[in-house]
Structure 1
Amino acid sequence: MTVPGLVESAAERFGDRIFLRVGDVTRTYAETREAAATMAGALAARGCRPGDRIAALLSNRIELVDLVLGCAWLGAVVVPLNTGLRGRSLRQALDAARPRFLYAEAESAAHAAAAGHRGVVWPVGGEDVPRPGVAEAIAPAPVRPEDTAALLFTSGTTGSSRGVRCPGAQFVWWGRNVSDALRLTSDDVLFTCLPLFHTNALNTLAHAMTVGASCVVGGRFSASRYWSQVADARATAVYLLGAMVPMLLARPPGPDDRAHRAWRGLSPATPGPLWGPFRDRFGVTLVDGFGSTETNLVIGATPDEYRPGRMGTVREGFSARVVDETLGPVADGTPGELLVRSHHPYAFSTGYLGDPEPSPGSWRRTGDRVVREPDGWFRFVDRVKDVIRRRGENISSSEVESVVRSHPAVAEAAAFPVGSDLAEDEVMVAVVVRPGSALDPEDLARHCARELPAFAVPRFVETVPALPLTETGKVRKAVLRERGVTSRTWDRAAVTSGTASPRSTWTASAPRPGSPP
């Protein structure tokens, strides 16, 4: 139940099978074990010791995979940092992690220096950087399942990111749980272009090792090139995020849509109405589930049994409950916060950096509002912090977004609260117009009024060329909330009262200015 154990077991079972392709580098399982052992030797030769924290500011490249596996083999702690961090956010992460060493690309190394990092820096391409094959292989360290293998920082969409202590056993359980949910076998090829500094893509390596599949790691997500990359990888399974699905559907149909072998994809938080169109157009069945950096695949579906817009059912070895603000249980069909618990030792993280370790088997709060249906299927409602409170009612931003996206002129949408004169929230939506379409905000408001209760119909609408996203495709609603209502925002109340122009049509080819950064 450790990462070195997983690497060794996979090498013994699958030997000459292709495990990994990153850029121009291809490795078998046996070669991967040798790379981990010699990378660990190279790290040790440069003064790294078990327990040391070694940070990385690297994009999806073989050096990051080598560092992850080499650190695990040595018993060091890898700290993959978001390459988009700058200034204060980067300084906070470095101050929290306190790494002795940093492996970074040139631009990121400069940002780290400006943020105050004073430890040893290994620049990519440098002559003295640790790399596999240039040092003697060493035996794997006697790590325990509960020992921290990686320190992963959360996305920080609603506040400062926090470092999560991820033990080796957590990665092993990710491999077992997700490979089972996706029905992976040794014949599969997995493709991910999500960043390796987050748990989704990083755990793809464990999914492959569990069953002997191949894993292809692509570069940054591009909607225009995505399906050609999937075809080039000869992938049979893909990894998406809910925000990526509408981006792909918004593209004009093309010959690459079906010129690939992929037939299922893990895609958490995909809006229910998009499942059918996605499968019909691209031939890929989407599989949802609940998991986080702090937990594991606690709730999930499979390609054989799924429901659009539902996360799935509780998986074996875990428990889940839905509670109110006092942490008391709520009835099925009632929204509440999701609490989860693992019965597997160290399948969850051992807590946040600086916090005490949670008791084994304790309930973990997720910050997600969900509904448990009477038959045991779970539906995501919202992040607790994203709930909009208006006229005494709790409004799900996820539900508002789903209705707004169902308008034929809308490609993407994000709903969020803004203040009002009545000391409550008003509903605002930022909308990306579908290419070749025009959006009349009054028509959108009427569309919402047909599908939503009156208190949930957006008051404010503004079009933007693109939504502000994190590196993992999550909408940065804090950016939208901070920006709020501007002089370019359409106000339904002002139109109704006759104090504003009653109609303004927006098109994708000429987006309104003032989009968020």
Structure 2
Amino acid sequence: MYLTQGLHRMQQQNPDALATVFRGRRHTYRELGERVSRLAGALQGLGMQPGDRVGMLGLNSDRFLEYMLGTWWGGGVINPVNIRWSVPEIVYSLDDCDTRILLVDDNFLPMAEGIASTAKVRPLLVHVGDGVAPAGMLSYEHLIREHAPVDDAFRGGQDLAGIMYTGGTTGRPKGVMQSHLNLWSSAIMSLADHPLQKNCIALHVAPMFHTACMSSLVAQVVAGNPHVFVPMFDVIDVLQTIERERVTDTLLVPTMLQAMIQHPDFAKYDLSSFKRLTYGASPIAAPVLERALELLPGVEFMHGYGMTETSPAISRNGPGNHSREGIANGLLRSAGRPLQGIAVRVVDENDNEVPRGTVGEVVVRGSNVMLGYWNRPEETAEALRGGWMHTGDGAYMDEDGYLFIVDRIKDMIVTGGENVYSAEVESAVAGHPAVAACAVIGIPSDKWGEAVHAVVVLKPGCEAAEAGIIEHCRQHIAGYKCPKSVTFTTALPLSGAGKVLKRDLREPYWKDKARAVN
């Protein structure tokens, strides 16, 4: 149960198989193993001891995978940096877990000196690029060339593998400690539940600092499949890469999937190789998903539900429910059933399991559940109380064990004494033909305590009025759930993982209030 095991296996059994593709670079597993073992030696030469943290600030690439595997091979712990963060936020995460080595690619060189000069301990900066390293930085490629390969440290099991900082949507980000066992077992349980297809070629689109993409990476390493990378999400780049590299599998967050199927050039590309699409990380509006199923009839769709603290697997809704039958019986809207090896319950505020069909909080236990939050024993104890990870997600479970996520508990709106789940309202709003994207929040109301408010992005060239959006919702959900007000914007604020930052949407309405509920 160590995360370099898949690389060892491929070096032994099929070393000349294709391992990575990024732009013009292609490496076999033999070449990947050589680069990883040399990078591990370089990191050790820079002072990395077993358990030391190494960070990387960069877009998706083959070198990002090398960083992960090389750090683990050398006995270190990865700290992938959120690419959407400002310099102070990045410095906070480096200081918090004492990260002394930071790899930076060309895209983030303007931030490098600001990070290094304001950190408590100036990290060693490594330039991850093809050109000459800037002054004060070491060259990634030079380090690999000049250092001899070293033996794998073979850290595994409960040894710390990564510190994944939460998005910081509320308060300071927390460092989620994931062990080798956490990440390995999450991948194995996902593969056991839905095995990869033969000759799988995986495209990594979601940001690699995020646990959803990391889970896909680890699973592909375990399986020994080729990895294809695009730096970041761009609709045309993704479509071109699928066509050129004959990609079979990918993971997208809903905002990416929506942008892809709505692009006017979508139908121009040959996507015949494409066989499986996993989506997750945030809710998806039903009209978007149903349209995607229409446009990609030969593709298996799967919904993955999880969180950073569970590395991330919890449940999965497979291809069988992404069908006309699944739409008709409602299972399309499910988050699926818990994966093998993972125990899930839905509980009330006293941690008592609630009857099937009753909304409560999802709690999880299994070998995939985090070790805890870095240097936060009280918050760790609260999250893992009773031996169960408390997710903060509100959901109900049906008689067949299917989970239906209704909302984040903190996103629930209490209006006139009724509980309204924003995800349900968002699905109704998204069904309006002029709506491209939306988010629903609670805002202060003297009459209702909180009022349901929708923030809407319209499709290019489309028009809609507040009254029309509200009336559309009345045709699909109860009146008390419908927005009391609507504002229009050109774009929703997104985290690096593509999640809507509802904190930013709420802030103008609640900034003068003593608390964020009314």
CA contact (8 A) 1:415 1:430 kept: yes
Q: Deviations over 1:83-127 (max 9, x none)?
A: 221143223212212111111231231341354352222233427
Corresponding residue for 2:151? 139
**8 Å CA contact retained: 2:6, 2:223:** no
Aligned to 2:371: 350
How far residue 360 of structure 1 moved from its aligned partner, in angstroms, is: 12
Unaligned runs of 5+ in 2: 323-330, 512-518
The 2-side partners of 1:236 and 1:29 are apart by: 19
1:273 paired with 2:297, answer no
- What is the alpha-carbon distance in structure 2 between the residues aligned to residue 474 and residue 101 of structure 1? 29
For the residue of structure 2 that corresponds to 1:402, the secondary structure is helix
State whether residues 299 and 314 of structure 1, in contact with CA within 8 Å, keep that contact through their aligned partners in structure 2.
yes
Describe the SS at the equivalent of 2:346: strand
Say if 1:157 and 1:475, in contact at 8 Å, map to a contact too. Answer: no
| Structure 1: stretches of 5+ with no match in the other structure | 487-517
Q: Which residue of 1 aligns with 2:472?
A: 447
Aligned positions of 1:413-424 closer than 5 A: 413-422=438-447, 424=449
Contact 1:181 / 1:301 at 8 angstroms: preserved in 2? Answer: no
Deviations 1:103-154 (A, max 9, x none): 1231231341354352222233427334434311111114131111111111
Further displaced range: 317-326 or 296-305 = 296-305
Write out aligned runs for 1:56-455 (5 A).
56-105=56-105, 106-113=109-116, 115-116=118-119, 118-125=122-129, 126=133, 128-130=138-140, 131-252=143-264, 254-256=266-268, 259-268=271-280, 269-283=283-297, 284-295=299-310, 296-306=312-322, 307-342=331-366, 344=367, 347-356=368-377, 362-422=387-447, 424-455=449-480
Distance 1:255 1:249 in 2: 9
Moved more, 244-253 or 157-166: 244-253
TM-score under structure 1 length normalisation: 0.88
For residue 260 of structure 1, report the CA deviation from its aligned partner. Answer: 4.1
- Quick check: which one's helix share is greater? 2
Q: Cα distance, 1:68 vs. partner? A: 1.1
Q: Distance in 2 between matches of 1:161 and 1:454?
A: 37
| Amino acid of the structure 2 residue aligned with 1:187 | N
Residues 186 and 212 of structure 1 are in contact (CA less than 8 Å); yes or no, is this contact kept in structure 2? no
Query: 1:22 and 2:22 equivalent?
Result: yes
Equivalent residues of 1:157, 1:476 under 8 A apart:
yes
Are the counterparts in 1 of residues 189 and 340 from structure 2 also a CA contact under 8 Å? no
C-alpha distance in 1, partners of 2:493/2:266?
A: 27
Deviates most, 245-254 or 8-17 = 245-254
Mapping 1:477-492, distance limit 5 Å: 477-484=502-509
Corresponding residue number in structure 2 for 1:467: 492
Equivalent pairs: percent with the same residue? 28
Task: Output the TM-score relative to the length of structure 2.
Answer: 0.88
In 2 relative to 1, CA 436–423 (structure 1 residues): closer, same or farther, beyond 3 Å?
closer
Q: Deviations over 1:49-107 (max 9, x none)?
A: 22211121122133322221111001111111112211432232122121111112312
Alpha-carbon distance between aligned partners in 2 of 1:166 and 1:420, rounded to the nearest angstrom: 42
Q: Determine the C-alpha separation between the residues in 2 that align with 1:421 and 1:193.
A: 44
- 1:262 to partner: Cα distance: 1.1
- Letter of the structure 2 residue corresponding to residue 143 of structure 1: R
Letter in 1 for 2:507: E
| Superposition CA RMSD, Å | 2.3
Match of 1:3, SS state, is: coil
Provide the C-alpha distance between the structure 2 equivalents of 1:11 and 1:484, rounded to a whole number of angstroms: 57
Q: For 2:250 and 2:62, how far apart are their aligned partners in 1?
A: 19
Task: Give the conservation status (yes or no) of the 8 Å contact 1:181–1:302.
Answer: no
